[in-house]
Amino acid sequence: MTTCGIVTKSLLLLAVVVALIGQGSAAVLKVSECCTTVSTQQITETIVDFMVQKRNNPCVKAIIFLTESGRLYCCKHDEPWVLRKVRELELKKRAALASAPSLLITSAPSFKSRAEKRLALASATAFL
What distance in Å separates the CA atoms of residue 1 and residue 93, rounded to the nearest whole number?
33
**42-53: per-residue pLDDT in tens?**
999 999 999 999
- Of the chain, the percentage scoring pLDDT greater than 90 comes to 47
Query: What does the pLDDT read at residue 121?
Result: 59
Domains identified in the chain, total number: 1
**4-14: per-residue pLDDT in tens?**
455 445 544 44
CB atoms within 10 A of CB 115: 20
In a domain, 2, yes or no: no
For the chain, give percent helix, strand, coil, nearest 5.
45, 15, 40
Query: What does the pLDDT read at residue 33?
Result: 81
**59-80: per-residue pLDDT in tens?**
999 999 999 999 999 999 999 9
In a domain, 59, yes or no: yes
CB atoms within 10 A of CB 75: 24
In a domain, 124, yes or no: yes
In a domain, 108, yes or no: no
Domain holding 126: CATH number?
Answer: 2.40.50.40
Would the pTM count as exceeding 0.85? no
What distance in Å separates the CA atoms of residue 10 and residue 37, rounded to the nearest whole number?
25
Quote the Cα angle for 118-72-91, to 5°.
105
Give the domain range for residue 124: 34-102+115-128
Where residue 122 falls among pLDDT bands split at 50, 70, 90?
A: low
In a domain, 10, yes or no: no
Query: What does the pLDDT read at residue 107?
Result: 54
DSSP conformation class of 83: H
